[in-house]
Structure 1
Amino acid sequence: MIYNSFVFYDCQITFQTRRNCSACRLAKCFNGGMQRDRLLTAEQKAAKRRQIEENRNLALHSNPKTNEQEFQLSSSTFLDDLLMLTETDILLTDFTDLLSIQPQQTLLSPEDLQRVETISRFYQNRIELAARNGLPWDPSMHAQTFLDVLNSHSVSVMRLLSFFKQIPEFNQLNVDDKVTLIKYNLLTVLGINSALSYNIETKQLIESESDLPSNVQYFRVLHGYNISMQTTKIFGAFLNIAKQDRKIIELTVIILILTKGFSVISDHDEPLLNDIMSAHHVQNDYTELLWKYMETTHGYKKTVDLFSELIRHVISWQVVYEQMRNNILRTLSPEDIGELVPIMKSTLRIS
């Protein structure tokens, strides 16, 4: 093509051919939405790098289990584009050898870091707060029957609710909206939350030293081999993420409890939220906080891998948990339902 006496070749730019023609590659990046004002001078780029390292050092100090060798300079795209990475996005992140391009940084500020630490403290406080408010089941008592096992789960439910009640933004939501979000999201979130209490060495699920381990003897009998294997595989992925960094799961459960229409299985009985935008804004805020924390602590590349893995397994977990819920409902007799503690009736969405 010829424009103003300059010759431009309309080359096909792919990930494999991106280095063949720098001009067409740059043109494609601009056509894809890259902004010229995001090109930085060498001095600006160095300043950005220093700021990244300062914030990462703060995060490293608060999270000593993180391997310092995993830290790397960020080349992040916008968070909203994370799940829609296009060919152009890939080209942008690998274009720094041609120009001094530094996409928008998603840095964790000291205030953000303090917020993450406060959330972790809220999570630790959940057990004491739930006990103070009264539990519907004694966690030190052995659950012998299947009904006992279901009722014993009410302890974990109450503790998780005590965690959410400490989150200021969640408390400020419409009261009826909070009830809806908890009723339709809590069961799935409860399973993911369990990854923070599972002891890999003893293979026991126990939240507090004073608790008896959860009774899982009915699990395979009730749900069958296939669901048991699926659950083990997906839960193992959450365990792996929690082992690397517990704070990721702590932030994730907040994000998931705020999701309207969370279940991949359509539930036509789920009411609309009275103020859906408020819930949406809070969820976006915590999603951004999670992304910034992960990128600052673990680097951009590992964050993309972890975030993608997290989303993939959350979706799979929803499907499996809906099947498990249906199995439970088919097993319960009217007499059993009458003996369920109220919080478990609500969690299982039994009217």
Structure 2
Amino acid sequence: MSSPHFESDEEKTDQLGLTDFDLLQNIQNAYSQSFNLNTTDSDLPLYPLTKKLTAICPIINVKNITALRLINFYKKMHEFQLCTEEDKVTLIKHNLPCIFFLHAVLSYDPLMDRYYQDDKHHIDGRDILLSYGLEVYSKITTLMTTLRSFVELDRIIIQLALVIMLFSKGFSASDSVEPILIDPLKVFRIQNLYIERLWRFLENRFGNATATKMVAKLFMQCLTIQILSRDTRSDISENVNPYDIVPIMRSIMQLV
């Protein structure tokens, strides 16, 4: 008679169901379809930049590429389409500034200290240093280094976090007043759906104890993103002429 087997915290405790796999696959497909594109606005400036006085505006404007692709990514999600048009606009407009920081790690090359937008456009770490100063640059680089640990395990972790952050009402920590959602309960339920899927993925892949530590670590990085987003937007509002910024980024950064 064999001895009973007791699973440790580090062993897989719960298998992902077919619905979970379908959801994860849909996210990966939507992301791939939205970001594996090479066609961009040829009017956007090419990098690298060299001067502090001219760097902030082009850095913001080149994020126009990312903004459009993120919006396309979210539009491919069934749950996002269930939201009212007003709530879609509110979630996109107020959460994208924070989402930019989280998304950046998916295109970050730590060896080159470079953020690739596509095959033509990139942002160098030195441009961030010249534009925002050493303190902000150091915080962003530390954030990227920490988030890279998740990317190296599985990119789907960050992709799921991108969805969770979108459906986070009030996360932006902006000085402006966010509109009240038309259907906050629906947004809350959608966010919980993706939080649950992230947890089940991590628990199934890494075990309960490790998954708990990973969620706590990711949560702390989200708080760091909140602070960075608030501080950089404050710097932008004080030093940038809104009409030097492309319209979509002007709206997202709330410069008008």
TM-score greater than 0.5 by the shorter chain? yes
For residues 1-351 of structure 1, the aligned pairs below 5 Å read: 72-74=11-13, 107-127=15-35, 131=39, 135-136=40-41, 141-142=46-47, 144=49, 145-146=54-55, 147-208=57-118, 210-263=119-172, 265=173, 267-333=175-241, 337-351=242-256
Deviations 1:142-180 (A, max 9, x none): 364322222111111111111111111011101011111
Deviations 1:108-127 (A, max 9, x none): 10221122022111111113
Determine helix, strand or coil for the equivalent of 1:231: helix
Q: Sort the Cα spacing of 1:268 and 1:154 in 2 relative to 1 into closer, same or farther, 3 A.
A: closer
Q: Is the 8 A contact 1:143 1:152 kept in 2?
A: no
Deviations 1:296-336 (A, max 9, x none): 11211111111000001101111122101111111113xxx
Q: Is the 8 A contact 1:130 1:162 kept in 2?
A: no
- 1:223 deviates by 2.3
Once the two structures are overlaid, the 10-residue window that deviates more, 227-236 or 252-261, is 227-236
Q: Tell me the distance in 2 between the aligned counterparts of 1:319 and 1:287.
A: 22
Q: Is the 8 A contact 2:199 2:211 kept in 1?
A: yes
Task: In structure 2, give the amino acid aligned to 1:235.
Answer: M
Q: Is the 8 A contact 1:139 1:155 kept in 2?
A: no
Q: Tell me the distance in 1 between the aligned counterparts of 2:122 and 2:175.
A: 33
Q: Tell me the distance in 2 between the aligned counterparts of 1:271 and 1:121.
A: 31
RMSD (Å) for aligned C-alpha atoms: 2.5
**Larger RCO (CA under 8 A, 6+ residues apart):** 2
Rg (Cα) greater in structure:
1
- 1:344 deviates by 0.6
Q: Tell me the distance in 2 between the aligned counterparts of 1:228 and 1:311.
A: 21
Q: Sort the Cα spacing of 1:242 and 1:345 in 2 relative to 1 into closer, same or farther, 3 A.
A: same
Deviations 1:78-117 (A, max 9, x none): xxxxxxxxxxxxxxxxxxxxxxxxxxx5x41022112202
Q: Sort the Cα spacing of 1:152 and 1:176 in 2 relative to 1 into closer, same or farther, 3 A.
A: same
Q: Tell me the distance in 1 between the aligned counterparts of 2:246 and 2:70.
A: 16
Q: Is the 8 A contact 2:113 2:124 kept in 1?
A: no
Unaligned runs of 5+ in 1: 1-44, 50-69, 75-104
Count, aligned residues: 247
Q: Tell me the distance in 2 between the aligned counterparts of 1:215 and 1:237.
A: 18
Unaligned runs of 5+ in 2: none
- TM-score, normalised by the number of residues in structure 1: 0.65
Q: Where does residue 32 of structure 1 map in the other structure?
A: none
Determine helix, strand or coil for the equivalent of 1:217: helix
Q: Is the 8 A contact 2:44 2:61 kept in 1?
A: no
Task: In structure 1, give the amino acid aligned to 2:235.
Answer: N
Q: Tell me the distance in 1 between the aligned counterparts of 2:187 and 2:164.
A: 10
- TM-score, normalised by the number of residues in structure 2: 0.87
Q: Tell me the distance in 2 between the aligned counterparts of 1:298 and 1:242.
A: 14
- 1:137 deviates by 5.5
Indicate the percent of aligned positions where both proteins have the same amino acid. 25
Deviations 1:245-291 (A, max 9, x none): 1100000010001111013x364521100110111111111111111
